[in-house]
Amino acid sequence: MAAPATSETVRPGRPRQRSLREMLTGKKAMRRLDHALSHLALIAFGLAFFLPFYWLVSTSVKPNTELFLLPPKWIPSQFVWENYPRAWNYLPFATFFKNTLYIAGFNVVATIISCTLTAYGFSRIRWPGRDTLFMVLIATIMIPYQVTLIPTFLIFKWVGWLGTFNPLTWPAFTGSAFYIFLLRQFYMTIPLELSEAAKMDGASELRVFAQVMLPLTRPAMATVALFTFLSNWQDFLGPLIYLSREDQYTISLGLRGFLNRFGANWELLMAGTTITVLPIVILFFFTQRTFIQGVTLTGIKG
Partner 1 sequence: MLRMRPSVRRDLRNGLLFISPWLVGLIVFTIYPILASFYFSFTDYSVLKSPRWVGLENYVHLFTNDALFPKSLTNTLYYAAIALPLGIVGSVALALLLNKKITGMSIYRTIFYLPNIVPAVAMSVLWIWLLNPNYGLFNSILKGLGLPGIPWLTSPTWSKPSLILMGLWGIGGSMVIYLAGLQDIPDHLYEAADLDGANSWQKTRNVTLPMLTPTIFFNLIMSLVGVFSYFTQAFIMTNGGPIDSTLFYMLYLYRNAFIYFKMGYASAMAWILFVIVVSLTLVVFRSSGRWVYYGGSSN
Looking at residues 81 to 100 of the shown chain, list those that interact with partner 1 (rule: CB under 8 A): none
| Cβ closest to partner 1, residue 8 vs residue 201 | 201
Angle at CA of residue 45, ends 41 and 50, nearest 5°: 145
* Contact status: 203 vs partner 1 (CB under 8 A): no
Residue pair 280/53 in contact by the 8 Å Cβ criterion: no
Work out whether the CA dihedral 111, 115, 118, 124 comes out positive or negative.
negative
CA atoms within 13 A on the CB side of 117: 11
* Contact status: 113 vs partner 1 (CB under 8 A): yes
Encoded one letter per residue, x for contact with partner 1 by CB under 8 A and - for no contact, window 204-243 reads: -x---x--------------------x--xx-xx---x--
239-258 residues in contact with partner 1 (CB under 8 A) are 241, 251-253, 255-256, 258
Residue pair 168/103 in contact by the 8 Å Cβ criterion: yes
134-193 residues in contact with partner 1 (CB under 8 A) are 136-137, 140, 142-155, 157, 171, 173-175, 177, 180
* Contact status: 70 vs partner 1 (CB under 8 A): yes
* Contact status: 286 vs partner 1 (CB under 8 A): no
**185-218 burial: b if 16+ Cβ within 10 Å, else e:** ebbeeeeeeebeebeeeebeeeebbeebbeeebe
- Peptide bond just before 71 cis, omega within 30 deg: yes
CA atoms within 13 A on the CB side of 177: 13
| Cβ closest to partner 1, residue 106 vs residue 120 | 120
| Cβ closest to partner 1, residue 94 vs residue 113 | 113
- Of 265, 244, 269, 46, which Cα lies nearest the Cα of 162? 244
Encoded one letter per residue, x for contact with partner 1 by CB under 8 A and - for no contact, window 4-43 reads: ------------------------------xx--xx-xx-
* Contact status: 75 vs partner 1 (CB under 8 A): no
